[in-house]
Structure 1
Amino acid sequence: MLAGPLPGIYDPVGLGKLLFASFAATAETERELGAQLARSPEVRLRAAVTGPTI
């Protein structure tokens, strides 16, 4: 039988929970900003002129 918490399961408490929430909010903000930049006319025009990048 298993006893205690399972290894590999994330169970945040205290400061770890705050840090995780901070990282999640930062990632979401970066994702939204990247989507806005990708939709801007200047970026689309530059991509059309230079071609695809990898």
Structure 2
Amino acid sequence: MVPLLLVVPLAPVLFGAGFVVEILRRVALAVLVLWLLGFVTLSTSVSGGRGRWKRS
């Protein structure tokens, strides 16, 4: 009975934590994809320069 009383209150907390971790993982993946797309599309200009990354 005592283990059941310890596990039952922890179940919603652990479920909520897992749900939040999954949301954060998806947000991080979306940010990574957007960052990579921005890096690829802004890496070179029409004149062949490196855009804003290199000023020489």
TM-score norm. by structure 1 comes to 0.56
Counterpart-to-counterpart distance in 1, 2:36 and 2:51:
20
Instruction: Detail structure 1 runs of 4+ shifted over 3 Å in the superposition.
Output: none
Match of 2:10 in 1: none
Q: Which of structures 1 and 2 has the larger relative contact order (alpha carbons within 8 angstroms, sep 6+)?
A: 2
Structure 2 runs not aligned, ≥5 long: 1-12
Match of 1:14 in 2: 15
Q: Within the alignment, does 1:48 sit opposite 2:40 as a pair?
A: no
TM-score norm. by structure 2 comes to 0.55
Q: Percentage identity across aligned positions?
A: 5
Bigger-Rg structure (1/2): 2
Match of 1:4 in 2: none
Structure 1 runs not aligned, ≥5 long: 1-11
CA RMSD of aligned residues (A): 2.2
Structure 1 residue 32 displacement after superposition: 0.6
Count of residue correspondences = 38
Where 2:14 maps in the other structure, the secondary structure is coil
Structure 1 residue 27 displacement after superposition: 0.4
